[in-house]
A and B are shown apart, each in its own frame.
Chain A
Amino acid sequence: MQKSSLFQKSLTKIWDTYSKDVGKSLIHLGAVGWIFGALAQIGALAFNKKIDKEEKNFLFPQEIADGIINVGLYYTICQGIKSFADKCVDKGKFIPEFVHSAYEKLTANKNLFSQAQQTQIFDSKKNLTKTLNAVTDSAFVKNLPISTQNFITNEIKPAAAKLSGWKNGIGTLATFGASVLACNIITPYARNIIASKIQSMTGKKTYYDYKAYGKICSFSQSKTFSKFKI
């Protein structure tokens, strides 16, 4: 029998983890992408000889803060919002009506299953995904009477498939929205505050008082800006 190499194990892991959950792949790969992007920007800044030291003094902390905050907030916010969205679906708070009806039919026909089977299907806490997956599992179904099998095939299996697609879609949309919130709203605001604090701690003077030049309607461009030929 062919043995699974490390490469094939990796491919199997990708299949198992991400083939049914696009949102999860967006979160994990997004975080990895941001880490690499941040490292590249910091490296490029470090080796850019044309930016003067004064400007690097501000841009460095900004890039580092940008990277740490971006990755940290991205993962935390996306994972948090996606988990909340998944929970809403699992608890039946936000599902297609068809799925809700099928679940109600299943709970109404609990007596088709033995006590042990009911324990297998129904969790102590309501979880539609677990319940519908458990009851439609082929290993579970094959031991049931034909009439029960028909009931599951006709009434429950279509609902389980619909729920899977719905949950995947909700998770994807939740991750999209969460990533926009994390990367484009919360992160820029947070990074500027932190980078500015770091700059003020370094004691750099950044403000050129144009009034010191003695004229009201003309002023010299600041040294910082005029030097900015990258």
Chain B
Amino acid sequence: MLVTNNKIINAVNWAGKKLNSVEQRIVLGATALATQPFFDYYNKNVDEDTRKVSAARTIAKIIAGTAVGIAVRLLFIKGFRKFSNYDLKIVSGNIEQILPKSKKDIFVPIFAKVKKGMTIDEFKNDYENYIKTGGVIGASIAMIATNFLLDAPLTNILTNKITSHMKLSDNNKQKEKEACNAEV
């Protein structure tokens, strides 16, 4: 299939340049909220109350995980970028080497080979991908701690809030049924 529509070509190119781990996390979180709780709620293999609690916990886990995941990724990408400022050594129109702008720019890959003939725009694009990847690697390591310190407690708090709301709903049903019983 040959693509002639420039809008599609531009959209695909945009996706490759702009989308990364943060955007992926947002999409996963949003689609998870739309699908996962229903799998738990309609799981006929366990009793009704367990199903409800399982669904509540799933919703809490998604909200907590997505919020913390996005925040940590953004923070670490920003941090990685702050220490990745570069200068380029250009010889005869070709980028020979990437050099750190100052001593604090420790994340500049000074031994990385840049393809001959690469334009400045192409390099900037690749470097942006490099920064985002480096940031997410740092975030993944940090998330070992944040998963325990933030994710899990936030999940428990949100699960409590959701199940307490469920309990109220069941109490209302209980009252209705007792009223119904009194009339009989």
Write the residues of chain A forming the contact surface with B, with a CB cutoff of 8 angstroms. Answer: 2, 4, 7-9, 11-12, 14-16, 18-20, 22, 25-26, 29-30, 32-33, 36-37, 39-41, 43-44, 48, 55, 58-59, 62, 93-97, 100, 136-139, 157, 161-162, 165-166, 168-173, 175-176, 179-180, 183-185, 188-189, 192-193, 196, 199-200, 206-208, 215-219, 221-222, 224-225, 228-230
Q: Are the C-beta atoms of B181 and A217 separated by less than 8 Å?
A: yes
- Which of A43, A183, A221 has a CB less than 8 Å from the CB of B152? A43
Known: A7-B106, A165-B12. 20 other contacts (CB 8 A): A16-B113, A18-B129, A19-B127, A22-B16, A44-B148, A44-B153, A94-B1, A162-B9, A165-B16, A168-B17, A169-B12, A172-B15, A172-B16, A173-B12, A173-B15, A173-B19, A184-B28, A218-B181, A222-B47, A222-B48
Q: Give the chain A neighbours of B46 by CB distance below 8 A.
A: 58, 196, 199, 206
Q: Are the C-beta atoms of A15 and B24 separated by less than 8 Å?
A: no
In whole angstroms, what is the CA distance A117 to B152 when docked?
59
Q: Which parts of B35-85 form the interface with A (CB within 8 Å)?
A: 35-36, 39-40, 43, 45-50, 52-54, 57-58, 61, 65, 69
In whole angstroms, what is the CA distance A227 to B132 when docked?
45
- What is the chain B residue whose CB lies nearest that of A173? B15
Q: Give the chain A neighbours of B48 by CB distance below 8 A.
A: 222
Q: Which parts of B93-138 form the interface with A (CB within 8 Å)?
A: 94, 106-113, 116-117, 119, 122, 126-127, 129-130, 132-134, 136-137
Q: Are the C-beta atoms of B43 and A196 separated by less than 8 Å?
A: yes
Q: Give the chain A neighbours of B172 by CB distance below 8 A.
A: none
| Interface check B90, CB cutoff 8 A | no
Q: Give the chain A neighbours of B16 by CB distance below 8 A.
A: 22, 165-166, 168-172
Q: Which parts of B143-173 form the interface with A (CB within 8 Å)?
A: 143-144, 147-148, 151-153, 155-156, 159-160, 163, 167, 170
| Interface SS majority for chain B | helix
Q: Give the chain A neighbours of B143 by CB distance below 8 A.
A: 33, 36-37, 40
Q: Give the chain A neighbours of B14 by CB distance below 8 A.
A: 169
| Interface check B177, CB cutoff 8 A | yes
- What is the chain B residue whose CB lies nearest that of A164? B122
In whole angstroms, what is the CA distance A133 to B174 when docked?
71
Q: Give the chain B neighbours of A9 by CB distance below 8 A.
A: 111
In whole angstroms, what is the CA distance A192 to B140 when docked?
27
Q: Are the C-beta atoms of A26 and B24 separated by less than 8 Å?
A: yes
Q: How many A-B residue pairs have CB under 8 A?
A: 226
Write the residues of chain B forming the contact surface with A, with a CB cutoff of 8 angstroms. Answer: 1-4, 9, 11-17, 19-21, 24, 27-28, 31-32, 34-36, 39-40, 43, 45-50, 52-54, 57-58, 61, 65, 69, 94, 106-113, 116-117, 119, 122, 126-127, 129-130, 132-134, 136-137, 140, 143-144, 147-148, 151-153, 155-156, 159-160, 163, 167, 170, 174, 177-178, 180-181, 184
Q: Give the chain A neighbours of B35 by CB distance below 8 A.
A: 184-185, 188
In whole angstroms, what is the CA distance A196 to B47 when docked?
11
In the assembled complex, 27 residue pairs joining A and B whose CB atoms fall closer than 8 Å, in A order, are: A7-B106, A11-B107, A19-B126, A25-B129, A29-B21, A29-B137, A37-B147, A40-B143, A41-B147, A41-B155, A44-B151, A58-B50, A94-B1, A166-B16, A169-B17, A173-B15, A180-B28, A184-B28, A188-B58, A192-B43, A206-B46, A217-B177, A219-B174, A219-B177, A221-B170, A224-B47, A228-B49
Q: Are the C-beta atoms of A96 and B3 separated by less than 8 Å?
A: yes
Q: Are the C-beta atoms of A93 and B47 separated by less than 8 Å?
A: no
| Contact flag A25-B47 (CB < 8 Å), given A12-B112, A176-B27 | no
Q: Are the C-beta atoms of B109 and A14 separated by less than 8 Å?
A: yes
Q: Are the C-beta atoms of A224 and B49 separated by less than 8 Å?
A: yes
Q: Are the C-beta atoms of B50 and A184 separated by less than 8 Å?
A: no
